[in-house]
Amino acid sequence: MARIIDGKRISAEERATIADEVAAFKAGNGYTPGLAVIIVGSDPASQVYVRNKRRACEEVGMYSEVIEMSEDTTQDELEARIASLANDPKIHGILVQLPLPKHLDEARVIAAVPPEKDVDAFSVENVG
C-alpha cells in the first residue's frame, strides 16, 4: 500500500521546531546564530538555492548574510572575503555556493573556509 507523504507539512513542522530551538539558543547564549553565503557569478539555479537559504534562516530567526560577487572575482578577492567572514563575530557558518566560475580553484576556496565555520563540511578536517 502506498503512503502519501506531505512534504510541505513536514517541512513546516521542522521549521517551527528549529525556530523554537533558535529562540531558546538566543535566550540562553545572548546572540543570534549567523550564516554567510557567498555566491560568485549569476548561475540561475544557484541564485534560487541561495535565496531559499536566506529565507529559511529568516523564518527560523537566524541572521543571514548573502555576499554576491561578480563572475570575474579573483581567487585572492574570494579568499579575502572568506577570511573576513571567518573573523566576523556575527557569522558562525560560511557556505560558498558551488559551482564556482571555471577560473577559480574550488579546492583552495574550500580550504579557505575554517573547519569550525564550514557549513557544507567540505574541509579536509570535516570530511576526514
Phi, psi at 81, each rounded to 5° = -65, -40
**Out of 8, 43, 53, 102, which one is annotated catalytic?**
53
**Would residue 97 show up in a list of annotated catalytic residues for this protein?**
yes
Peptide bond into 89 cis (omega under 30): no
**Out of 43, 47, 75, 120, which one is annotated catalytic?**
120
**Would residue 120 show up in a list of annotated catalytic residues for this protein?**
yes
Query: Position 55: which residue type?
Result: R
| Spatial distance between the Cα atoms of 73 and 59, rounded to a whole number of angstroms | 31
Q: Which residues are catalytic?
A: 53, 97, 120
